[in-house]
Structure 1
């Protein structure tokens, strides 16, 4: 089994984060540091991540939906001492990591789990799991701009995949817009609107695939239902 998948199945990190840990020398196999991300774990191998042996971990998969507030980062720790989403799920009896990211000034739906395989399915663009955002943007979002966003825009050396965009309300100075994307580049939605000349003033993620935030209060979380978990495992 590929090393990043092995680490993910143990619930220690997503596959992407597992690759980062490996590249940084935080992974040992049979007592030796391994930086080969394509390493295939063999039967009998002892894998350690940050000194923790995977073969001693009894994993129980846990899945929660969090309504992320402003001012929290989607990281396990922050060198600047800012609060993290981990603080909001500290009472969960499992080490959870965020599936994808929401930036410091973005609110809304965030899935947190220790199931790396499911996290991979949700975040990898090849599975086309759409994330729905509601944004307030400055200025007028014309039909021509909507068409550009839906076709794909250059956000700095990367052309985005086609998006679904709907203007919910257009005011004199700003617009309320719903946008659906299945990619997850850093600050992608903000960069997309900036590319057509509309600065994002507020941004909230309201859905991931068929999972909706609903009435979940800001800063609170709830465990996913068996039906919701089954959906995520098969997207």
Structure 2
């Protein structure tokens, strides 16, 4: 056999040794380090990436290589979550200062407010509710002028892009008041798909909540982010919308939040959003 043949005596194989494979398997199968893991925290690799140490994948490699310490403990598990404001993080003995400029807000948008930071027509818009904020913020998706309810506002571009990308199929829940009685087959029709001028739109779920002689109240869940899709779907089945409120965006609930109020998301809500899009 030639000396370059990997089977020849003395040849140095590029394959990992049995010990290296065992260590890698143990690392990958291990759960988050119990001494430093914070259930409501942020994934360690995201903290490192936000601090400018490279791409998310490069930061994952730093962790797997044993180059990252949290509170003096070497962390190799990619599932570890941390609180960058309360915990000490080092890479190669260099202290990491986490960015503290990320903002995550939930806004209960009233009717006749434009989902934009300005409006050439002078109508009320999001900037009217953000006068005390100095960050460059933007909304995640949009609600049309007449629609009320939950709108997320942030300066985290990566999270916002994933939340609105069709790949992640983030569900949105709407409370819908419509004109007239809803036919028994409407739920099945909406879930099967309604042909609109820009393609078929489907509801993930449909529920009739209440009915009076002239109006019905329904709940619709769907992951489409197309313009005025709920209004167009209900119009197509013969029940025009008279009032539309988004009550949930992914794992975030509007709950009892007052109309026109902007609030900071809780750490567990931020974590839930990131988990929903694989961050």
TM-score under structure 2 normalisation?
0.62
CA distance in 2, matches of 1:214, 1:162: 22
CA distance in 1, matches of 2:267, 2:114: 28
CA distance in 1, matches of 2:193, 2:220: 12
Match of 1:102 in 2: 143
2:116 counterpart of 1:75:
yes
2:263 counterpart of 1:227:
no
2:164 counterpart of 1:123:
yes
Match of 1:93 in 2: 134
Match of 1:199 in 2: 240
Match of 2:184 in 1: 143
Q: Is residue 118–residue 126 contact of structure 2 (8 Å, CA) maintained in 1?
A: no
Match of 2:55 in 1: none
Aligned length: 179
Q: Cα RMSD between the aligned structures? A: 1.5
CA distance in 2, matches of 1:65, 1:131: 14
CA distance in 1, matches of 2:208, 2:240: 15
TM-aligned CA deviation for residue 59 of structure 1: 7.5
Cα deviation, 1:55-93, whole Å, max 9, x if unaligned, reads xxx882100000001110101211111110121122123
Match of 1:170 in 2: 211
Stretches of structure 2 lacking an aligned partner (at least 5 in a row): 1-49, 51-98
TM-score under structure 1 normalisation?
0.73
Q: Is residue 75–residue 98 contact of structure 1 (8 Å, CA) maintained in 2?
A: yes
Match of 1:26 in 2: none
TM-aligned CA deviation for residue 157 of structure 1: 3.0
Match of 1:208 in 2: 249
Q: 3-state SS of the aligned residue for 1:206? A: strand
Q: Which runs of 4+ in 1 moved over 6 A?
A: none
Q: Is residue 74–residue 98 contact of structure 1 (8 Å, CA) maintained in 2?
A: yes
Stretches of structure 1 lacking an aligned partner (at least 5 in a row): 1-8, 10-57
